[in-house]
Amino acid sequence: MARRLRILLAVDGSQNSQRLTQRVGNLVAGGMDADVVIFHAVPSVDRTLLLSAEAGELGMVFPAAMDYEETVSILRERARQAGRALVEEAREMLKRSGVPEERLQVKIVEGETDPAQAIVKEAKEGGYDLVAIGRKGRSSLREFLIGGVSDRVVRHCTSCAVLVVE
């Protein structure tokens, strides 16, 4: 008897990530014998984040008097909350697709400076058969400069197959 497949579903909240979640849900609900681990890498919060557009995406407006440590603490908590909401949304989508709850797990890692590295590391250490990732997520400037997360995962993930959904 064949063993059940393990799918690492990397989510970031983008539209492609949502399409990917639906696609994986349809595959598993349609008969693929697989467990799905919904994975999100919460980015590290540093001065670069404070100066980037991502700070605005987290719904923050910073008073000039707020100190750096307080700002970083607030951003970390907002990023954690956003990450939990993303994986919960993906879990609900998969359940609505017909994936049984017992086939779903969640893994959130924090403090990652590079989501691609976090995904590749998890794929290798977790013994996954497939990494599923959306193309063109939420990091457009970085994607332009050094390649997107999905591109780097495809190049560096040698431990299993990679499904990229656009």
Q: What is the pLDDT of residue 137?
A: 52
pTM (2 decimals)?
A: 0.83
Which strands sit side by side in the sheet containing 5-10, from one edge to the other?
Answer: 104-112, 34-43, 5-10, 130-134, 161-165
- Across the strands, what pairs with 38? 9, 106
**pLDDT per residue over 42-90, tens digit each?**
877 664 455 454 555 555 555 555 677 787 788 888 888 989 999 999 9
Amino acid at 71: T
CA–CA separation, 120 vs 117, rounded Å? Answer: 5
Per-residue confidence (pLDDT) for residue 65, from 0 to 100 = 55
Residues 6+ apart with CB under 8 A from 144: none
- pLDDT beneath 70, residues of the chain: 1, 45-66, 136-147
pLDDT score at 47: 45
Buried b (16+ CB within 10 A) or exposed e, 131-142: bbbbbbbbbeee
Q: In CATH, what number does 5-165 get?
A: 3.40.50.620
- Per-residue model confidence (pLDDT) at position 63: 55
Distance (Å, rounded) from C-alpha 51 to C-alpha 69?
15
Predicted confidence at residue 48, as pLDDT, reads: 45
